[in-house]
Amino acid sequence: MGGPKVSPPKSWSTPNSHFLTVLHEPWYKTVMHIQSTVSVATTEFWIQRGAQLLCLPITTGSVSSPNAVGSDSIPVPVSIFGVHTYLADSMQFLLEYGCRLSPEGCFYLMPSFRGEDVDSSHLAQFFHSEVELVGTLDDVMEAAEDYIRFLASRILERHDTLVMDAAGTIEHLKKVVQTLSFPRISFSEAIELLGDNPEWITINAVGGRIISRKGEQRLMQTLGSPVWLTKMDHLSVPFYQAFDGDDLRTARNADLLMGIGEILGAGERHASIKDARHALEVHSVSEVDYEWYLMMKELYPLRTAGFGMGVERFLLWVLQHDDIRDIPLLLRVNGQQINP
């Protein structure tokens, strides 16, 4: 089997001329076709299951990852007609809200905004495929596996030649389609497996343990891919994840590792206002911007779980590539004006 015939031109490094390069490089036409199929297949998959597509604003006063303990991104503030607000980093809270209207669940696929620097695994603006379902973490993990298999199947049906030319193989797609259940390892088991190597495990300012990108790669080398990493330290995840166990130290969440590492993050939410309020306190988050969220939990209690998948990270896995900057047709970098 030969190697890839189509490769990325790295033209994002010259932003003033990048848009012209896109128009004649086969790599970007390949990305466009596959991303289009992912978008169409996402809607097809969830509509078949009865979920509703929510059309939501891109601004919010209640970011899902504020500057607080366990937050995994930096919010992007904006001022619109003199009003301070944020570009949404996730629509999870509003998808939870939508589940009160749609018991079959709800979903969306639209841009998310993060304040991080762009690098080989992070984008400042990316497409986010998110869903929230009535149910538990196990329910949403099963749905996520079905979703990944469905996307891989559609890509094989429509773009096997494109993937072969860009990745040099389609075996990874076939493997996922044929895998009935993805293996799981708990965070505590993963910590024991990785040992105390500081390259693989870091500790945040409040003692929450975090497995690094290199640590994720090590787990995939050892356990295979895809693999679920479950039940992280609660102090290393955002406040909205449900507590797992009476000691309130562990989160009821899971990350799906494949390709460059985590491509999909799942979690169960606090079902009661008591737990949600306690989590805000533990994570040093003010209740002020989340009063509506707490009121919803109090007046309309509901157990929900959901996930968010970074589409560009999924495309990296499809194309067996390792630099996410090669995926967007038009890259955006915080602090730079890039046209068009």
With contact defined as beta carbons under 8 Å apart, do 100 and 300 qualify?
Answer: yes
pLDDT tens digits, 201-215: 998 878 899 999 999
Q: What is the pLDDT of residue 182?
A: 98
What average pLDDT score do residues 247-257 get? 96
pLDDT more than 90, % of the chain: 92
pLDDT class for 67, splitting at 50, 70, 90?
confident
Dihedral, CA atoms, 102, 237, 325, 338, nearest 10 degrees? 80
The continuous run of DSSP H or E covering 173 comes out as: helix 171-178
Which residues, at least 6 apart from 52, have a Cβ–Cβ distance to it below 8 Å?
98, 101, 102, 104, 105, 106, 107
266 belongs to a structural domain: yes
Q: Is the pLDDT assigned to residue 246 strictly greater than 90?
A: no
User: In whole angstroms, how far apart are CA 93 and each of 90, 105, 217, 278, 294?
Assistant: 8, 13, 30, 17, 11
pLDDT class for 45, splitting at 50, 70, 90?
very high
6 belongs to a structural domain: no
With contact defined as beta carbons under 8 Å apart, do 91 and 111 qualify?
Answer: no
102 belongs to a structural domain: yes
2 belongs to a structural domain: no
The domain total for the chain is 1
Q: Is the pLDDT assigned to residue 48 strictly greater than 80?
A: yes
Euclidean distance between CA atoms 207 and 214, whole angstroms: 20
Per the prediction, the chain carries an average pLDDT of 96
Q: Is the pLDDT assigned to residue 7 strictly greater than 60?
A: yes
Euclidean distance between CA atoms 85 and 62, whole angstroms: 9
Q: What is the pLDDT of residue 20?
A: 98
Of 83 and 248, the one with more pLDDT: 83
Q: What is the pLDDT of residue 221?
A: 97
Q: Is the pLDDT assigned to residue 68 strictly greater than 90?
A: no
3 belongs to a structural domain: no
* Structure letter (DSSP) for residue 241: B
pLDDT tens digits, 299-321: 999 999 999 999 999 999 999 99
What average pLDDT score do residues 257-270 get? 98
CATH number, residue 240: 3.30.930.10
With contact defined as beta carbons under 8 Å apart, do 53 and 98 qualify?
Answer: no
231 belongs to a structural domain: yes
pLDDT class for 1, splitting at 50, 70, 90?
low
149 belongs to a structural domain: yes
With contact defined as beta carbons under 8 Å apart, do 251 and 231 qualify?
Answer: yes
Euclidean distance between CA atoms 77 and 62, whole angstroms: 11
Which residues, at least 6 apart from 333, have a Cβ–Cβ distance to it below 8 Å?
15, 118, 124
335 belongs to a structural domain: no
Rg, C-alpha atoms of the chain: 20
Q: What own/partner pairs with CB < 8 Å and gap ≥ 24 does 211-217 have? A: 211/187, 213/121, 213/260, 213/261, 215/190, 216/257, 216/261, 216/262, 217/260, 217/261
What average pLDDT score do residues 320-326 get? 98
Phi, then psi, of 247 in degrees rounded to 5: -80, -10
CA atoms within 13 A on the CB side of 75: 21
Check: pTM over 0.85? Answer yes or no. yes
What average pLDDT score do residues 264-269 get? 99
Q: What is the pLDDT of residue 2?
A: 67
* Structure letter (DSSP) for residue 168: S
Provide the residue range defining the domain that includes 234: 11-326
